[in-house]
Amino acid sequence: MFHTLWHNYIAPVLRRPARFQVAALCYRQAAGGPEILLITSRETKRWVLPKGWPKSGLEAAGTAIEEAWEEAGVITRGHTPPLVGTYRYDKRLRGGVPVETVVNVYAISVKALHDDYPEKDERDRVWKTASAAAAAVDEPELKDLLLRFPAQLQDGLSG
């Protein structure tokens, strides 16, 4: 009885609303197909995409470009990045409280990587094929998004 009451009534009321972040799926064309840039998270050192909270005065695509620069030193090709998908994960806030977070992912064509960027001492970065990138990340919906990306790119990046 208590189990049903908790899961059907009490827990949903206590659950925090989903948060929103923006991510940059930074890519370059290589001989074997597109390669995706992954970076390590600052605290857990997991492989992730550059991402962050929305920024005042910037649209989501602009936030993605800024996060790509700050976290990975990405110099873009000067295009407006298209939305290529969304994924969800549990973000751990201060104190370890998990909150569901929805992430819009924008594809950014990389012109170059700068060696000096704001978070260079806090993160590692690596280029991976889509399948290797999918294998490296933890979030199931992000894995799926990365695996679909080469076909989206070939089809003209419809989100």
Is residue 154's pLDDT more than 90? no
Alpha-carbon gap, residue 149 to 73, rounded angstroms: 22
The pLDDT value recorded for residue 63 is: 96
- Mean pLDDT of the 54-58 span: 91
Q: Return the percentage of the chain with pLDDT > 70, whole number.
A: 87
Q: State the pTM of this model.
A: 0.85
Domain 15-154 coded CATH 3.90.79.10: yes
Which residue is associated with the tokens 């998990």?
98
Residue 10 has pLDDT above 70, yes or no: no
Q: Which residue has the tokens 């000096």?
A: 116
Scan for tokens 């994960």, then name that residue.
Answer: 89
- The string of DSSP codes covering 92-130 is E-GGG-EEEEEEEEEEEEEEEE-S--TTTTT--EEEEEH
Quick one: pLDDT band at residue 6, thresholds 50, 70, 90? low
